[in-house]
Structure formats: C-alpha cells, structure tokens
Structure 1
Amino acid sequence: MRSFITRVADDMASLYRELADVYAENHRVKAALAAWQSEQTPAPDHGAHRRLR
C-alpha cells in the first residue's frame, strides 16, 4: 500500500510540474501575441477626427 501511495504522490508531483510549465508557456505565448499585435496596430492619427471648416 505504501508503494502505491508513493507512486501516486510522484505522479501528482510530475503533473503539477507539467502544469506549471504549461502555464509558463501560456504566459510567454500571450506576451508574444500582445507584442506582435501592438506592432501591427497603426499609430493613431489625431488629426483625422477633426471637423473641416
């Protein structure tokens, strides 16, 4: 019984490490996407919304 509990604990620890890796990769992907999106967005044209007189 003790060896089974040890195996389950080891498996759970391994899964938690993998989950932490997935969260870290997710953060890296989101940061890269945000950076790419900000590079693709054109600079605002502040004079475009003025009324012509």
Structure 2
Amino acid sequence: WPEVEQAECLARGAALKWASGVFCRPEHLEHLTQYKKRESQRINRVHTRLK
C-alpha cells in the first residue's frame, strides 16, 4: 500500500528530526522520560481506536 509506505517514511523523517534536535541539545535529554511516557500513552490511544 503506497499510502502506508508514505506514512512510514514521513514518520521516520519526523522521528529523525526530533532525535537530532534532542541529541544536539543535551539539556533536552532530561525530558526523554516524559517524552517516552507521553508517546506511549498516545500510541495506546491510537491502538485502542483501531480495535
């Protein structure tokens, strides 16, 4: 499915952009645990909607 492949490509690009910003600025590393928690909750909500 080309739409899925395009969405995955865009998601990877967004993730790389975010990660490069975090690792370029060490003060942002303190917020990684908060980010992980927030993203985990977001992913769980998406999975719940898809069921």
Q: Normalising by structure 2, what TM-score?
A: 0.50
Structure having the higher Rg: 1
- The structure showing larger relative contact order (alpha-carbon pairs under 8 Å, at least 6 residues apart) is 2
Higher helix fraction (1 or 2): 2
Q: Normalising by structure 1, what TM-score?
A: 0.48
